[in-house]
């Protein structure tokens, strides 16, 4: 009887050992576990990096890469360029030069708001204000960020407010009468200061 039991145990052990004669049990378990499967790298289209608001100058860029034989190396380039911290930095292999449409946009303004006394035209970070009235004061406020300027004219125009379409840095224009002058408030996205200069028939505000 003992001999029979011993033979049965030997057979059972033999069957368990031959359950998978090609892979050790641990390797088979790893293959069935999705977390252990390595994903193949995808082609580079565009990677995005955002720097903190305090960043103003890029001094260099480093790229770490893997060779065809699996070895790893890196290359660096020294540069000295100012940046706009409100905009992301892109890494891409799909570079295309400026199109005719983009070049045209650099020189053209798009009307975003207008009333009888004043009109507003936007081009990227520039806001052209066409008016016959003189700006007597201008200043900046934060939270939210906005440019405020007063134009000299005795008027009782109705209050005006317009939200600007998405895609523009400028988000809202508000106008209100204050007796001997009327006030314009331009809200915008990002942490910018601005420059103001006179132009033909008005003024240009440039965010920087």
Q: What is the CATH number of the domain that holds 177?
A: 2.60.40.3500
Residue 159 included in any domain: yes
DSSP 94-124: ---PPPHHHHHHHH--EEEEE-SSEEEEEET
Nearest to 123 by CA among 28, 26, 207: 207
b/e burial code for range 154-165 (CB count within 10 A of at least 16 → b): eeeeeebeeebe
105 plus 186 within the same structural domain: yes
pLDDT at 87 over 50: yes
The whole-number pLDDT of residue 84 equals 81
Q: What is this structure's pTM?
A: 0.55
171 plus 152 within the same structural domain: yes
Angle at 153 between CA 158 and CA 198, to 5 degrees: 110
Which of these ranges, 100-104, 177-181, 185-189, has the smallest mean pLDDT?
Answer: 100-104
70 plus 148 within the same structural domain: no
pLDDT at 115 over 90: yes
Identify the domain containing residue 164 by its residue range. Answer: 101-207
164 plus 187 within the same structural domain: yes
**Residue 12 or residue 119, greater confidence:** 119
**Residue 10 or residue 133, greater confidence:** 133
Residue 70 included in any domain: yes
pLDDT at 154 over 90: yes
Radius of gyration of the chain (CA): 33
158 plus 199 within the same structural domain: yes
116 plus 60 within the same structural domain: no
Counting beta carbons within 10 angstroms of the beta carbon of residue 183, is it exposed (0 to 12), middle (13 to 18) or buried (19 or more)?
Answer: middle
- Contact between residue 47 and residue 92 where contact means Cβ atoms under 8 Å apart: yes
Residue 9 included in any domain: no
- Most confident segment among 34-48, 65-79, 194-208: 194-208
pLDDT tens for residues 17-30?
Answer: 444 544 454 555 54
* Domain count across the chain: 2
What's the DSSP call for residue 85? Answer: T
pLDDT tens for residues 95-112?
Answer: 554 444 444 455 689 999
61 plus 110 within the same structural domain: no
The whole-number pLDDT of residue 76 equals 83
Residue 20 included in any domain: no
**Residue 70 or residue 120, greater confidence:** 120
Residue 12 included in any domain: no
108 plus 198 within the same structural domain: yes
142 plus 183 within the same structural domain: yes
pLDDT at 13 over 80: no
pLDDT at 123 over 70: yes
**Residue 21 or residue 131, greater confidence:** 131
- Most confident segment among 80-84, 92-96, 142-146, 163-167: 142-146
């Amino acid at each position: 009887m003992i001999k029979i039991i011993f033979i049965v145990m030997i057979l059972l052990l033999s069957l368990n050992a031959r359950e998978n004669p090609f892979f050790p049990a641990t390797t088979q378990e790893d293959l069935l576990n999705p977390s252990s499967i390595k994903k193949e790298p995808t082609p580079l289209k565009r990677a995005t990096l955002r720097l903190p608001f305090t960043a103003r100058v890029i001094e260099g860029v480093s790229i770490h890469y893997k060779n065809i034989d699996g070895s790893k190396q890196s290359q660096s380039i020294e540069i000295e360029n100012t940046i706009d911290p409100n905009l992301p930095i892109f890494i891409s292999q799909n570079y295309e030069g400026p199109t005719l449409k983009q070049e045209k946009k650099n020189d053209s303004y798009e009307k975003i708001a207008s009333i009888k006394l004043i009109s507003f035209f936007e081009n990227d970070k520039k806001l052209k204000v066409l008016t016959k009235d003189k700006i007597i004061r201008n200043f900046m406020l934060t939270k939210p960020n906005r440019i405020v300027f007063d134009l000299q004219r005795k008027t009782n125009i109705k209050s005006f407010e317009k939200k600007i379409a998405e895609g523009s840095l400028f988000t809202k224009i508000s106008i209100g009468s204050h007796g001997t002058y009327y006030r314009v408030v331009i809200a915008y996205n990002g942490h910018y200061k601005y420059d103001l200069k006179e132009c033909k028939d008005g003024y240009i505000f440039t965010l920087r």
